[in-house]
Structure 1
């Protein structure tokens, strides 16, 4: 998507300095990757011995040692990042299913209030044969005026606290059945276009997980879950998002059946 400086002042299009936007987005996607690996570990999606323990944000974290799992997560997060850049994502979900494809849990990351990413990737490419139309001095002035808007120490502390809370919550939840699987999903804004094309990393979700929209009067039956546990709201400069975990109806029914036997 190209930047159109004639339609809107460049200063209004950028919510963070160009020099910091890419770093902020990379920080979030690294955080998301760590969260996914930790969810898989604490929810026993794979055996504990297939994970190694390392450190991130000065915390012990867990990472799958299986090359195919690591590759799949890396590709999935890259696909999420591509949609974040376009500004079309409202929520990101790590969805856990049982062996019958019933939703057990949804680990949610609400990024609806993220700063505008659109433009930081494209600004430099706009300057082709008509370089003078986008004056480097304008960009320099924006970065100078907004310097220090991102407090990186605060960002790291907020992400560190969220990972700790996620690990604590994951350990306290009721156990999942054997043979559970997972996937990564994104919920798009109403104005967002579905990511179609070739290659096609995304497929539409089942109707039970589709959110309410202008074309859909009611959300799917598994959206929201039977029980919701808030994790943390992250607010560090321009970076704001919320996290929570939803436990599905099928998981609650399974717990009830198990306790009554």
Structure 2
């Protein structure tokens, strides 16, 4: 009984990185749908975090997320991601109309002293929260993302999106990735959504949009 109770609290560094990746995947897909970046018929419902979330069925977009978020997950384990930004642009003018910042903080955790999955004698980094509690917090943030359509301005032009990853200087950039400058929105309004924490990573979600 004691072992089972301990197991429910055993969120590891790798498990925490997986949860953040899943939040980014489902959260960004929800934003793309809610903001009308692609036609609604190119999305299909999926169950995650106790919610029905609409996910893109476009193979190119799915492959893009696999590559980008897979790399971000590795960097979260290495503790070198500072922020992930979803940028929404006007296709014709390239003007940034909206951006979603997912800011990462790294929280102090303890080690349980067991060997890791590779059996090489390293310690597993273990947090203090159970997965159900974390998923409940993530669910509340995604509900807020869905609710942003009530105050965000209408995107009345053809739009595209990109994902920027802000990392610490020691990060090795993949060869097929480009370095770019930070993006800004002139005369912007900013709204901070709920935060969630795995007790290993903390993530803040902030949406900025052009104030018209």
Q: Same fold (TM over 0.5)?
A: yes
Question: What is the total number of aligned residue pairs between the two structures?
Answer: 198
Structure 1 residue 203: deviation in Å?
1.1
TM-score normalised by L of structure 2:
0.81
Structure 2 unmatched ranges of 5 or more: 1-8, 110-114
Structure 1 distance, partners of 2:195, 2:170, is 27
Structure 1 unmatched ranges of 5 or more: 1-15, 117-121, 128-133, 210-221, 256-261
| 1:163 aligned onto 2:146 | no
Secondary structure at the residue paired with 2:139?
helix
Query: Higher strand fraction: Structure 1 or Structure 2?
Result: 2
Structure 1 distance, partners of 2:132, 2:171, is 35
Q: 2:104 aligns with which of 87, 91, 111?
A: 111
Structure 1 residue 62: deviation in Å?
0.6
Q: Deviations over 1:97-136 (max 9, x none)?
A: 11211111111111033568xxxxx966694xxxxxx4x7
Quick one: structure 1 residues 156 and 68, their matched pair in 2 at CA, closer, same or farther if it must change by over 3 Å? same
Answer yes or no: is the 8 Å Cα contact 2:31–2:146 preserved in 1.
Answer: yes
Runs of 4+ with >2 A deviation:
112-116, 122-127, 192-197, 235-239
Q: 2:162 corresponds to which residue?
A: 183
Question: RMSD of the TM alignment (CA)?
Answer: 2.8
Q: 1:154 aligns with which of 123, 130, 133?
A: 133
| 1:233 aligned onto 2:210 | no
Structure 2 distance, partners of 1:25, 1:196, is 19
Secondary structure at the residue paired with 2:105?
coil
Structure 1 residue 236: deviation in Å?
4.4
Q: Deviations over 1:143-202 (max 9, x none)?
A: 7xx6x722212101000001001111145311113221111111223xx324335xx242
Q: 1:102 corresponds to which residue?
A: 95
Structure 1 residue 226: deviation in Å?
1.2
Query: Higher helix fraction: Structure 1 or Structure 2?
Result: 1
TM-score normalised by L of structure 1:
0.67
Higher-Rg member (1/2): 1
Structure 2 distance, partners of 1:188, 1:175, is 31
Quick one: structure 1 residues 230 and 205, their matched pair in 2 at CA, closer, same or farther if it must change by over 3 Å? same
Q: 1:195 aligns with which of 169, 172, 181?
A: 172
